[in-house]
Amino acid sequence: METIHTVAWMKQVAASARKNDRVLGLVPTMGALHEGHFSLIHAAQKQCSPVVVSIFVNPKQFGPSEDFQKYPRTFEADRAALESLGIDYLFAPPPEEIYPLGFRTYVEVERLSERLEGRSRPGHFRGVTTVVLKLLEIVQPRLAFFGRKDAQQARIIRRMASDLNLDSEIIVCPIVREADGLALSSRNRYLNEENRRAASALYRSLDAVRREIAAGERDAARLLVALRRVVDAETRVSVDYAEIVDADSFEPVVSLRKVCYVLIAARVGGTRLIDNALIEQTGDTFGVTL
Ligand code: AMP
C-alpha cells in the first residue's frame, strides 16, 4: 500500500489508473476505522481496482463547540488495517493540502442541508460537501462509497453529484451494527460502560417502529409515539430529533410513502449519536431495514 500525502501526487496516481482503464474506487473516511468502514472497503474491492481510502478529519464540518480537537485519531492502527486488507492507496493529506491559506470556496446543497442534522449542526453539511467534492475531483473515481448510517449525508452527496454532473457514481452501503444493534461509529469509543449500554436505545426505538409497521401501523405520528416510548424510557438518552421523512426530499411525511427513513439523533452523556431505518414499500407491505 502506498500512503499519499499530497494532492498533486494523488491526482497523478489516480490519472494514471484512469488512463489504464482501471476502475478506480474511493472510500472517504475520517479514520478511527471500524467494521462500518471496512464494509465500505469490501464493497469497493468487489467492484474496483485500485481502491483509494482517504483519511481526513475535516475541520470544516465541525462546529466551534464540537469535538474536532478530541475526535479519535488512530492513524498507525488505521494504516496497518488498510495494509492488511490489501488497499492500494491511502490518501492522508494534512489540512493545509486541502485548505491552503486563502481558501474561500464552498459548495452547498440547498434545502436538503438545512433540516435535521443540518439544523442541529449549522455549517456541517457545507463542510462535508466541500471536502467530498474536493476528494471526488482529486481522485475522480468511477465509484465512491458511503454508508447509509449517515443517510442524510448520502442523499446530499448524491444530489451534489447529480447537480454538478460529476462522473463518479455514489454507492450507498448498509449499516453495520454491534450485537445489541448499536450502529458502529468512531464516536462510540467516547461512551463509558453505562452510556454504551443505554446507547442501544436508538436501535431499539427503530426496532419498535419496525414492529408497529409489521402490525399494520402506517401513521407517522403514531409510529413516532412508539419510537419515543422506547427511547424516552432510557434516562441517559436525550433525543435531539426523531422524524419520518421522504427518502428523496427528507421532508416529514404524514403517513408512510414508497420509500422513507426513520431518523433519530440523540445525546448519550456528552456523545451525539445518529441512526436510521429504511422503509420500503413492495406491493401492500412495507419492509423495514435497520
Ligand atoms: P466517517 O469516518 O465517520 O466520516 O465515516 C466514513 C464513511 O463510513 C461514511 O460514509 C459513513 O456513513 C460510513 N460509516 C460509518 N459508520 C458506519 C456503519 N456503522 N455502517 C456503515 N457505514 C458506516
Instruction: Look up 37 and say whether it is catalytic.
Output: yes
Whole-prediction pTM value?
0.98
Distances in whole angstroms, Cα of residue 118 to Cα of each of 55, 114, 127: 23, 5, 11
124-151 pLDDT per residue, tens: 999 999 999 999 999 999 999 999 999 9
pLDDT at 108: 98
pLDDT at 198: 98
Residue 183 near ligand 1, beta carbon < 6 Å: yes
Residue 124 near ligand 1, beta carbon < 6 Å: no
pLDDT at 19: 94
Cα separation of 252 and 168, whole Å?
A: 29
Residue 40 near ligand 1, beta carbon < 6 Å: yes
C-beta of residue 53 within 8 angstroms of C-beta of residue 82: yes
30-70 pLDDT per residue, tens: 999 999 999 999 999 999 999 999 999 999 999 999 999 99
- DSSP-derived secondary structure for the chain: -EEE--HHHHHHHHHHHHHTT-B-EEEEE-SS--HHHHHHHHHHHHH-BSEEEEE---GGGS-TTSSTTTS---HHHHHHHHHHTT-SEEE---HHHHS-TT-------TTTTTSTHHHHSTTHHHHHHHHHHHHHHHH--SEEEEEGGGHHHHHHHHHHHHHTT-SPEEEEEPPPB-TTSPBP-GGGGG--HHHHHHTHHHHHHHHHHHHHHHTT--BHHHHHHHHHHHHTT-TTEEEEEEEEEETTT--B-SB--SEEEEEEEEEETTEEEEEEEEEEEETTEEEEE-
pLDDT at 100: 98
Q: Ligand 1 center to residue 275 CA distance, Å?
A: 11
Q: Whose CA is nearest to atom 12 of ligand 1?
A: 147
Residue 58 near ligand 1, beta carbon < 6 Å: no
Residues 6+ apart with CB under 8 A from 54: 26, 27, 28, 29, 90, 91, 92, 93, 135, 139
The atom number, within ligand 1, closest to the CA of 175 reads: 20
Q: Ligand 1 center to residue 248 CA distance, Å?
A: 20
Q: Ligand 1 center to residue 183 CA distance, Å?
A: 9
- For cell 448498509, what's the residue? 174
Residue 150 near ligand 1, beta carbon < 6 Å: yes
Give the chain's residues under pLDDT 50.
none
The atom number, within ligand 1, closest to the CA of 183 reads: 19
Q: Whose CA is nearest to atom 22 of ligand 1?
A: 147
Cα separation of 214 and 193, whole Å?
A: 33
pLDDT at 52: 98
Q: Ligand 1 center to residue 119 CA distance, Å?
A: 20
* Other C-beta atoms lying within 10 Å of the C-beta of residue 198: 20
Q: Ligand 1 center to residue 174 CA distance, Å?
A: 10
